[in-house]
Chain A
C-alpha cells in the first residue's frame, strides 16, 4: 500500500528574514524576503504572511526574481498591516504559499487598470507582459498623489521600454483627475484592447468588468475575500460557488459571470454573514 503525502509543499510555513523594507508612499511599504517557492510564483498568486504573535494575512506578491527574492506590498489599514509595516530588515515573518491561480497571459494588447494597492499583483504581471513583448497600457488610480505606488518602477518601464503609463487621482493632485475606470473608458472609446487586467477596490473592478463587456474585451480580475486556510477547505473566502483561494484569486470573464450578483456588491464576512461591499 502506498502511503499518501498529507503535505501541500507550498503550504508548509517557512520562516524568512526581511531583507529590505521600501516605502512606496506614506501608507504603503514593499517588504522583501528570500523564499524559493515564492520566487517561482506566477503573477496574481498570493501568499499568507504570518506576523508572529499578531496575525496571518493574505497578500499578493508584488515582485519576484530568479535569485529567490520576493516581495509583498502592503498598506497600513489595520492591526496586522500596521504590525507588518513596522517590521525592519532582519525581522522574521512566516510565509505560506504561493496559492491560487494567477493572471493568464492572453492577447497582443493589454489594458491594465489598478486601484491603490491593487497595483501589487498587477506590477508583477506588467513585468511579465513587458518581458514577453506584449503591448501594455497601464492606468493607475488612487485617491491622491500620496496613495499612488510603484511610481519609480513604472516610470522606469515607461522610459526604458516605452510602456504607456497613465496616472489618475480623484482629487487631481497627480496625473488626470478622476477615477481609473473613467480614464479607461476614454481609452476604450478610442481604441481596442485584447484584454483588461484589473485589481483594486471591488466596485472599481465591477465597473471595469462592465467596460470589458461594453467594449467586447477579454477580462481578468484579481479578487479578495476574508481568508483563513488558503487551501480551499475552510470556506471563508467563497464568492458564490467559487473559493477565492483556490478557484481564484484571479477570475476570468466566464467565472465572473457566475458571480456577477456578488461582484462589487456583496460578500461573506469573517462570521459568514452576507454584507454589502
Chain B
C-alpha cells in the first residue's frame, strides 16, 4: 500500500484519474525505473509521470546533458529510453504503486505515438501524456508540437487507439500556446500539461564552445515559472479541459499560483534537486495550511480563481 500523502481536502480528479493530492512527478525526472517511481509515490506524489518513452530504444545525447544556469537548469538529454517493448516490464512492476501512473510518450509519426501509447496502457498505465514539446530532438516533441495541425493529428491517433485519458504536454516555444491547446482539446485530449522547457543555450566564454553536447536545450526551473503561469492562465481561458501546470514549481506558494491561474494539478521536476523527494509532502502540507487559512474546504475551489472578475 502506498503512503501517498492523503489530505482529504487535497483530493482532486483529473480526466477521471483520482489523485490523493494535486502533485505529480514531472516527465523526464527520475522516471526510468519502477523502483524510483515507487519511492517518489511513497514520498507523497499524487501521481507519477515516467520519462518519455518511444517505440525504439535510444541512447540520447552525449554529456554534458544537464547543466546549471543562473536561475534553473538547461538540459538536452535527447530522450534516452529503452523503448516501449522493454519499458512495459517496468510498468508492470508498478501494479502496487497506489497512485496513477502516467506514461510519457514520444514518437516520430502518429502511428508511433499510438502504438507506444497502446502498449503502455496494455501494461497497466493509467493515462498517457504525449510529449509534443521536447525542444531538442529532431522530428519529434516540439518539432511536431509547434504545429497545431500536427498536435491534432497525434492526439487523435492516440485517442483512436486507447480508451484511457490522454494528456497533451505543450511547448511554450510558440507565439500562441492557446492554438496548441485548442488543437489538442478539439482532437479529444483529456487534459493539457503546460509547459515543457523553454528552448535555450549556454556558451562557455573560456573555451568558446556551447556547453551542451547538443548545443541547444530546454530551460527549466525558476526562470520559466512566470512563463508557465501565463501559459496556464491563457489556456484556462481558451479550452474546457483540465490543465496540469508545470515549470519552476518549488514550494506550495508556486503550486497555489499555478492553481489560481487554472491548473488542476502541478508537476514537479527540477526542484527535486534542491528539496529532495520530501518536496511532494511539503507542498501538500503548505497547500493544506493555505486552504485552511483562506477558508477553502477543497483544493478544487481555488482552480482558476485568478480569473474571477
Which of B35, B83, B222, B270 is in CB contact (< 8 Å) with A240? B35
Which of B39, B80, B270 is in CB contact (< 8 Å) with A272? B80
Q: Determine whether the beta carbon of A271 is less than 8 Å from that of B57.
A: yes
Q: Determine whether the beta carbon of B67 is less than 8 Å from that of A268.
A: no
Q: Determine whether the beta carbon of B273 is less than 8 Å from that of A273.
A: no
- Bound together, the chains give a CA A4 to CA B254 distance in angstroms of 11
A-B CB contacts (within 8 Å), total count:
134
Q: Determine whether the beta carbon of A241 is less than 8 Å from that of B60.
A: no
Q: Is B65 in contact with chain A by the CB < 8 A criterion?
A: yes
Min C-beta distance of B82 to chain A, whole Å? 4
- Bound together, the chains give a CA A229 to CA B270 distance in angstroms of 11
Min C-beta distance of A114 to chain B, whole Å? 26
Min C-beta distance of A182 to chain B, whole Å? 33
Min C-beta distance of A10 to chain B, whole Å? 9
Q: Is A1 in contact with chain B by the CB < 8 A criterion?
A: yes
Question: Chain A residues with Cβ under 8 A from B31's Cβ?
Answer: 235
Q: Is A57 in contact with chain B by the CB < 8 A criterion?
A: yes
Q: Is A234 in contact with chain B by the CB < 8 A criterion?
A: yes
Q: Determine whether the beta carbon of A231 is less than 8 Å from that of B207.
A: no
Min C-beta distance of A19 to chain B, whole Å? 16
Closest to A7 in B: B68
Question: Chain B residues with Cβ under 8 A from A253's Cβ?
Answer: none
Min C-beta distance of A97 to chain B, whole Å? 11
Min C-beta distance of A266 to chain B, whole Å? 11
Q: Determine whether the beta carbon of A55 is less than 8 Å from that of B62.
A: yes
Q: Is B98 in contact with chain A by the CB < 8 A criterion?
A: no
Min C-beta distance of B184 to chain A, whole Å? 27
Question: Chain B residues with Cβ under 8 A from A50's Cβ?
Answer: 63-64, 211
Question: Chain B residues with Cβ under 8 A from A15's Cβ?
Answer: 204, 206-207
Min C-beta distance of A250 to chain B, whole Å? 18
Q: Is A232 in contact with chain B by the CB < 8 A criterion?
A: yes
A228-B77, A270-B59 known; A96 and B35 CB under 8 Å?
no
Q: Is B51 in contact with chain A by the CB < 8 A criterion?
A: yes
How many chain A residues touch B (CB < 8 A): the figure is: 40
- Bound together, the chains give a CA A56 to CA B204 distance in angstroms of 14
A1-B253, A7-B70, A15-B207 known; A271 and B29 CB under 8 Å?
no
Question: Chain A residues with Cβ under 8 A from B81's Cβ?
Answer: 271-272
Q: Is B32 in contact with chain A by the CB < 8 A criterion?
A: yes
Q: Is B33 in contact with chain A by the CB < 8 A criterion?
A: yes
- Bound together, the chains give a CA A238 to CA B33 distance in angstroms of 8
Question: Chain B residues with Cβ under 8 A from A276's Cβ?
Answer: none
Which residues in window 218-251 of A have CB below 8 A to B?
A: 227-236, 238, 240-241, 243
Q: Determine whether the beta carbon of B211 is less than 8 Å from that of A228.
A: no
Q: Is B269 in contact with chain A by the CB < 8 A criterion?
A: yes
Q: Determine whether the beta carbon of A96 is less than 8 Å from that of B30.
A: no
Q: Is A214 in contact with chain B by the CB < 8 A criterion?
A: no
Which of A7, A13, A234, A235 is in CB contact (< 8 Å) with B65? A234
- Bound together, the chains give a CA A258 to CA B141 distance in angstroms of 37
- Bound together, the chains give a CA A92 to CA B205 distance in angstroms of 12
Q: Determine whether the beta carbon of B207 is less than 8 Å from that of A8.
A: no
Which of A4, A7, A270 is in CB contact (< 8 Å) with B80? A270
Q: Determine whether the beta carbon of A233 is less than 8 Å from that of B60.
A: no
Closest to A93 in B: B207
Most chain-A CB neighbours within 10 Å: which of B31, B63, B251? Answer: B63
Q: Is B169 in contact with chain A by the CB < 8 A criterion?
A: no
Question: Chain A residues with Cβ under 8 A from B64's Cβ?
Answer: 13, 48, 50, 56, 94
- Bound together, the chains give a CA A15 to CA B81 distance in angstroms of 31
Q: Determine whether the beta carbon of A8 is less than 8 Å from that of B204.
A: no
Q: Determine whether the beta carbon of B32 is less than 8 Å from that of A235.
A: yes
A12-B68, A53-B209, A92-B207 known; A4 and B222 CB under 8 Å?
yes
Q: Is A11 in contact with chain B by the CB < 8 A criterion?
A: yes
Q: Determine whether the beta carbon of B51 is less than 8 Å from that of A232.
A: no
Closest to B35 in A: A241
- Bound together, the chains give a CA A142 to CA B309 distance in angstroms of 74
Q: Determine whether the beta carbon of A231 is less than 8 Å from that of B273.
A: yes
Q: Determine whether the beta carbon of B66 is less than 8 Å from that of A235.
A: no
Closest to A11 in B: B68
Having A6-B223, A55-B63, A238-B35, one finds 15 other A-B pairs with CB under 8 Å, namely A6-B71, A52-B207, A55-B213, A228-B63, A228-B66, A228-B77, A232-B273, A233-B273, A234-B28, A238-B33, A243-B30, A271-B80, A271-B82, A272-B51, A273-B82
Q: List 12 A-B contacts (CB under 8 A).
A: A6-B71, A13-B204, A56-B63, A56-B64, A94-B204, A233-B30, A238-B32, A238-B36, A268-B33, A270-B59, A271-B58, A271-B82
**Which 4 pairs, one residue from A and one from B, show the smallest C-beta to C-beta distance?**
A56-B63, A229-B66, A235-B30, A272-B32
Give B residues with C-beta under 8 Å from A.
Answer: 28-33, 35-36, 38-39, 51, 57-60, 62-68, 70-73, 75, 77, 80-83, 86-87, 204, 206-207, 209, 211, 213, 221-223, 250-251, 253, 269-270, 272-274, 276
